[in-house]
Amino acid sequence: MRVLSVFSSIMRILRIEFNQLQMKRIIAPITLLVLLIACNNNQKKKEETQQLTSQQYLEPYRPQFHFSPQEKWMNDPNGLVFHDGIYHLFYQYYPDDIVWGPMHWGHATSNDMIHWEHKPIALYPDEHGLIFSGSAVVDKNNTSGFAKNGEIPLVAIYTYHLMEGEQAGRKDFQTQGIAYSLDNGDTWTKYEGNPVIGNTGIKDFRDPKVFWHDESERWIMALVAGDHAKFYSSENLKDWTYLSDFGKYQGAHGGVWECPDLFQLPVEGTDETQWVLIISINPGAPNGGSGTQYFIGEFDGKRFTSNQKEPKWLDYGTDNYAGVTYNNVPDGDRVFIGWMSNWDYARDTPTEVWRSAMTVPRKLSLRKVDDEYMLVNYPLEELDAKAFPVLVSDINLDGKESRTLDIEGMNQTQIKFKTTSKDFKLQLKNNLGEHLELSMDSRNQLMLLDRMESGKVNFQAEFGNKKHHMPIDKLANDAFEVRILLDWSSVEVFVDSGLYVMTDQIFPTQPYNSIIIENLDEETAIQNVTIEQMVSIWQ
Ligand code: FRU
């Protein structure tokens, strides 16, 4: 039996690896195969082999240009902050299993937000509870008094979730705590005065996002409390004063509000700025489960106001949740990273060593279209350097034309084109007949992403049961760009440079190896179709 199971796992590895483009990716599993046979299926060796595979990031479905933890469960990005040449990515992490469990802050660092180095766990649960989501700031002026020997403190502000309190049926089990690091994130000390904000009986009271507000010369915290956001201010990150509430009667309320973020953004091509409040919501997203809405408005140092009644959505796919932005980015850019999953099925996805990945880092901006402010999110420029080599370029389709391109190993590519046609269909297929479809329908002003037969979908009822809709009514009338980032278990679609975005997980069991592009309109054209291989960030 054992021999059989080893053989079948070898075959699995081989089948997948043979479909990949780089020989490098074939050599590793073959080496492992020889090792396995030579060691007569020794259990210890098998474990070592698994470990090796996970370090090389070559397992089935493993993203190649998105961040994923080396192993075990991950959810929200936390504590996104730049300090002293390093971008930090902390994240909700459970080191003992690939399903959600007692939360820690995992940690990775980067010079460019594209390539990541894994670091030891930053924050462990303590007597106040598990470590839920939150943010981090650079306390340049040592307002907290945590500095020693001239080292600038990094301060993390997070939610404590006291399991015992929840289990006892109390409502005050979420409080806010802080911790600091004097070695740029390597080691952390919890503040002895924790929690810094107690709970007066609000069941969902979490996910503090803190930033320095220049005008009022104070720290401002946005926090969520079930169906609304709350704002607080502080001079020292330890003592917090309640300021105001926002949102009980505005936006979407299909589920609990989570992971707020508040920041100011310039409006493209003007001197104008507006404030943006991001709120994740679960459930209640346009295509089901978890999603991220935003509000455009004003913040006067105390109160956020917006005359927006209806929700606007940062992403219409089902897999961009709990996203927040970096503090302290050197050139002032606003960079967003989201968790590429959905609470509907996050625990069920068919990976074995790790669970879930982050979106690519995306630069946020505001665009005014027909007198309406729209939040634009688009991959960081640094990602362009990973698009190499060019596999296909300069394909043009006139009215009613269609084209089939056979390209081996499409699962790690970027597809781009300009189009004046608003009626088209793109299909990515593999030899098993699994296919992913993206279509645009101008009559109904819709884009549709169909993953219903894109690969493995039956691990959970909701995952592959419907097409995902994105209403599109504010597109440029001349040519606009469609850009698709395809990794081994995700697809990100950016329309008109990030004005409309969809992010979905997919689990094709073999790489897609053909693409069919159809221009369904008579008059207009699809231009400059380009397909580029994306270089792995892990090899
Ligand atoms: C969002 C969330 C947060 C919470 C964390 C717990 O996905 O539910 O509100 O802090 O996950 O892991």
Tens digits of per-residue pLDDT, 492-532?
Answer: 999 999 999 999 999 999 999 999 999 999 999 999 999 99
- For the CA of 207, the closest atom of ligand 1 is 10
Which pLDDT does position 23 carry in this prediction?
40
Length of the chain: 539
- Å from CA of 206 to ligand 1 middle: 8
Task: Provide the pLDDT for residue 11.
Answer: 37
Residue 53, pLDDT score: 62
Ligand 1 atom with minimal separation from the 134 CA: 10
Q: What pLDDT score was predicted for residue 383?
A: 97
Tell me which of 452-461, 474-483, 494-503 is least confident: 474-483
| 31-35, 151-155, 292-296, range with the lowest pLDDT | 31-35
76 is a catalytic site residue: yes
Q: Distances from the Cα of 250 to the Cαs of 227, 253, 294, 306, 307, in angstroms?
A: 10, 8, 11, 9, 9
40-49, 117-126, 382-391: lowest mean pLDDT where? 40-49
The arithmetic mean of pLDDT across residues 123-133, rounded, is 98
Q: What confidence category does residue 43 fall into, taking pLDDT thresholds of 50, 70 and 90?
A: low
Which segments of 218-273 does DSSP mark as H helices, in order?
none
| Tally of CB atoms within 10 A around 151 | 14
Task: Answer whether 331's CB lies under 8 Å from 382's CB.
Answer: no
Q: What is the dihedral of CA 339, 473, 403, 432, to 10 degrees?
A: 40
The Cα 69–Cα 121 span in angstroms is 11
Q: What is residue 13's predicted lDDT score, i.e. its pLDDT?
A: 35
Per-residue confidence band for 9, with pLDDT thresholds at 50, 70 and 90:
very low
341 compared with 12, residue with greater pLDDT: 341
CA dist 277 and 265 (Å) reads: 11
Question: How far is it, in rounded angstroms, from Cα 412 to Cα 57?
Answer: 14
Cβ–ligand 1 contact at 17 (below 6 Å)? no
Strand 372-379 relative to strand 104-110: parallel, antiparallel, unpaired? unpaired
> Ligand 1 pocket: which of 72, 73, 92 to mutate (most atoms <8 Å of CB)?
92
- Ligand 1: residue of 132, 157, 257 to mutate (most ligand atoms within 8 A of CB) is 132
More confident residue, 103 or 39: 103
Average pLDDT over residues 231-240: 98
pLDDT band at 24 (very low <50, low <70, confident <90, very high): very low
pLDDT score of 19: 39
Mean pLDDT of 1-5: 34
pLDDT tops 60 at residue 22 = no
Cβ count near 147 (within 10 Å): 16
Render the burial of 469-486: b for 16+ CB within 10 Å, e for the rest.
bbebeebeeebbbbbbbb
Q: Mind listing the pLDDT tens digit for each residue in 199-227?
A: 999 999 999 999 999 999 999 999 999 99
Average pLDDT over the chain reads 92
Of 73, 74, 76, 281, best ligand 1 pocket probe by most atoms within 8 Å of the beta carbon: 76
Q: Which helix (H) or strand (E) holds 44?
A: helix 43-56
In this prediction, residue 409 carries a pLDDT of 86
DSSP designation for 467: P
**For 478, how many CA atoms within 13 A lie in the half-sphere containing its CB?**
0
Decide if pLDDT at 396 tops 70: yes
pLDDT at 47: 55
Whether 344 lines ligand 1, by a CB cut-off of 6 Å, is: no
The domains of the chain are located at: 1-54, 69-344+359-379, 387-534
Reply yes or no on whether the pLDDT at 36 is more than 50: no
Choice between 46 and 59, residue whose per-residue pLDDT is larger: 59
Whether 284 contacts 457, CB under 8 Å: no
259 Cβ inside 6 Å of ligand 1 = yes
Question: Which pLDDT value is given to residue 151?
Answer: 96
Q: If pLDDT is split at 50, 70 and 90, which confidence band does 32 have?
A: very low
Q: Measure 61 CA to ligand 1 centroid, in angstroms.
A: 24
Domains 69-344+359-379 and 387-534 are alike in CATH topology: no
Please give the single-letter amino acid code of residue 261. Answer: D
The whole-number average pLDDT for the span 238-267 is 98
Query: Is the per-residue pLDDT at 261 higher than 70?
Result: yes
Whether the CB of 132 sits within 6 Å of ligand 1: yes
Residue 17 has pLDDT above 90, yes or no: no
pLDDT number for residue 477? 72
Q: How far is the CA of 418 from the centre of ligand 1 (A)?
A: 38
Q: What is the atom index within ligand 1 of the atom nearest the CA of 256?
A: 9
Q: Which amino acid is it at 447?
A: M
- Residue 385 banded pLDDT, cuts 50, 70, 90: very high
**Residue 171 pLDDT > 60, yes or no?**
yes
Which pairs count as long-range contacts for 19-22, CB under 8 Å and 24+ apart, including other chains? 19/408, 19/409, 19/510, 19/511, 19/513, 20/409, 20/511, 21/408, 21/409, 21/412, 21/533, 22/536, 22/539
Q: Report pLDDT digits (tens) over 185-202.
A: 999 999 999 999 999 999
What does residue 6 show for φ and ψ, rounded to 5 degrees? -65, -45
Question: Which are the contacts of 471, defined by CB distance < 8 A and separation ≥ 6?
Answer: 316, 445, 446
Task: Please name the residue whose Cα sits nearest to atom 6 of ligand 1.
Answer: 132
Least confident of 32-36, 125-129, 219-223, 446-450: 32-36
Task: State residue 44's pLDDT score.
Answer: 58
- With beta carbons less than 8 A apart as the criterion, state whether 177 and 196 touch: yes
- How do strand 304-305 and strand 312-313 relate by DSSP bridges? unpaired
Q: Annotated catalytic residue: which of 76, 261, 496, 504? A: 76
Strand partners, 402: 518
Determine the average pLDDT of the residues in 229-253. Answer: 98
Q: Does domain 387-534 have CATH number 2.60.120.560?
A: yes
> 76 CA to middle of ligand 1, Å?
7
Over residues 258-287, mean pLDDT? 97
69-344+359-379 domain in CATH 2.60.40.10? no
Ligand 1 pocket, residue 206 CB under 6 Å: yes
Angle separating helix axes 24-38 and 2-18, nearest 10 degrees: 170
| pLDDT number for residue 52 | 58
Q: Does residue 3 have a pLDDT over 70?
A: no
Residues 296, 369 contacting (CB under 8 angstroms): no
**Of 412, 405, 387, nearest in space to 22 by CA:** 412
Q: What is the pLDDT of residues 147-156, one digit of tens each?
A: 999 999 999 9
Helices 43-56, 24-38: inter-axial angle, 10-degree rounding: 170
Cis preceding-peptide flag for 195 (omega within 30 of 0):
yes
